[in-house]
Structure 1
Amino acid sequence: MRCYQVNAQNNNQPPSLLGQKSILLNVGTQGVGAEFAYGVLPNLALRGGLNFIPFKAHNVFKISGFNSTSNLSADFYNVHALADYVPVKTASWFRLVGGFAYFFKAKGDIRVIPSDDYKYGDLVLTEDQIGYVDLNVNWKGLAPYLGVAFANTFPRNKFNVSFDLGTYYLNKPKADITGTGLLEGNSSQTPQFQSNIKDYRWLPIVQINFSYKL
């Protein structure tokens, strides 16, 4: 009877992470991606993978008193290494996650294009003569990550779903403004634009992971 009770208690213990392996497909605020996870200690697993998000949108904002169209594009591509640590053995569904990523592409571009001819007295200027303005921001480089995760790192059977919440702290952005035609003078606003954007370095991560145990 005592042997039965001991075995039952052992069966209820959360499994060790050591030596376990899985492949994860994920989707979230950093786009879509894939990871490989491997348990290196009973309560520690490492994940390595990549994510990418190409995004495009049109007419995301309007400039008061100026008829224009705007085109936005954002491209974020990274490779990353993360460590999942289970702080409480009896709560293996909760993990602390830390690591870093290298963003080999991390940029956002906005082009503002006039949509009407511009009249100045008797003079009519075409869209080509007016020109356009490009606003470019680049966060390329190494970024640390800190967050938490919910649900077991490795499936108990073959499949499971888990969740990541956290943030990357991106490289200090490099920003510039370029203009053409009559809007060429806007290039002089680059220092002010750089100053305005310098603190935009947090990339929040909300992610769903679909895991397959190897």
Structure 2
Amino acid sequence: MRKLQLTLLVVLLFTALAATRAIAQPFWEQAYKGATGVQFTVGSQGIGGEFKYNFAENAALRFGASFLPLSANNLFTFSGLKSTNNLSARFSNVHLIADYTPFDKAQWFRLVGGLGYLYSARGAINVIPSGDYKVANYVITAEELGRLNIDVSWKGVAPYVGVGLIRNFSLNSRFTANMDLGTYYLASPRSTIVGTNLLADNYQLQTQMDNNLKSYRWLPVLQLNFSYRITQ
């Protein structure tokens, strides 16, 4: 009888410990091996979506895509040149990202790394002169001067490194949200300069522009993730 009572006491003790641990670690903060989910993302790289798979209790893979279109008019002024200008940018990517949580007691901290392919990564500016220009005794009209288009592309494979800095907070038992902070290291920029009429010779500046832009290869990422867990 005493052995049976002791056995029951041990079982009850382990049951109580397990229940206490479950209460201390809510459902939305647990990491389940094999769990799957989807994420809606919004931030500096635009809007996007991801599929998430936990291949270990403290590690997961994310496969997704994002899209960022931008445009602005008359953002720049050029000394000695009256003009209208149109700026546009488009950055779109597909990516495979890994998350790793190294510390059990710091679930708010994740190491993040992976690769992205930017199938569209370009910025362009179109300059249209306006008014007439007097050069010595000659008057050159805007039509005679021509137009100028400058296009820069960072298309290609880009490694990504970053961290997750905010602990998951629950919107309900399946919806959570957190944040990523990181950067892509882009491919070397390639510029194309196309001018018409008197501006046609500006294509010769492409090499100089590539050299001037060679250090502009870091694309910062600040992203909010809104997740829905499909399976546990």
TM-score when normalising by structure 2? 0.85
Evaluate the alpha carbon distance shift between residue 162 and residue 206 of structure 1 in structure 2; reply closer, same or farther with a 3 A threshold: same
Percent sequence identity is 45
Query: Which stretch of structure 1 is more off in the superposition, 85-94 or 139-148?
Result: 85-94
CA contact (8 A) 2:154 2:187 kept: yes
Which residue is 2:201 aligned to? 185
SS of 2:177's partner is strand
CA contact (8 A) 1:179 1:186 kept: yes
Which residue is 1:65 aligned to? 80
| Alignment of 1:95 onto 2:107 | no
| Alignment of 1:8 onto 2:28 | no
Which residue is 2:66 aligned to? 51
Residue 121 of structure 1: how far off its partner (Å): 4.8
Which residue is 1:22 aligned to? 37
Larger radius of gyration: 2
* Structure (1 or 2) with the greater helix fraction: 2
| Alignment of 1:83 onto 2:98 | yes
CA contact (8 A) 2:170 2:177 kept: no
Deviations 1:84-127 (A, max 9, x none): 10111122222111001011111111111112122335543222
CA contact (8 A) 2:74 2:86 kept: yes
Which residue is 2:188 aligned to? 172
Please give the alpha-carbon distance, in whole angstroms, between the structure 2 residues aligned to 1:90 and 1:45: 18
Please give the alpha-carbon distance, in whole angstroms, between the structure 2 residues aligned to 1:92 and 1:156: 18
Residue identity matched to 1:197: L
Deviations 1:144-188 (A, max 9, x none): 000011233997712122111000000111113221111112222
CA contact (8 A) 1:21 1:38 kept: yes
SS of 2:106's partner is coil
Moved over 4 A (4+): 153-156
SS of 1:116's partner is coil
SS of 2:76's partner is coil
Q: Unpaired runs of 5+ in structure 2?
A: 1-11
| Alignment of 1:197 onto 2:213 | yes
TM-score when normalising by structure 1? 0.92
Taking only aligned residues, the RMSD between alpha carbons, in angstroms, comes to 2.0
Q: Unpaired runs of 5+ in structure 1?
A: none
Please give the alpha-carbon distance, in whole angstroms, between the structure 1 residues aligned to 2:223 and 2:214: 26
Residue 63 of structure 1: how far off its partner (Å): 0.6
SS of 1:88's partner is coil
Which residue is 1:158 aligned to? 174
Residue identity matched to 1:178: V
Which residue is 1:138 aligned to? 153
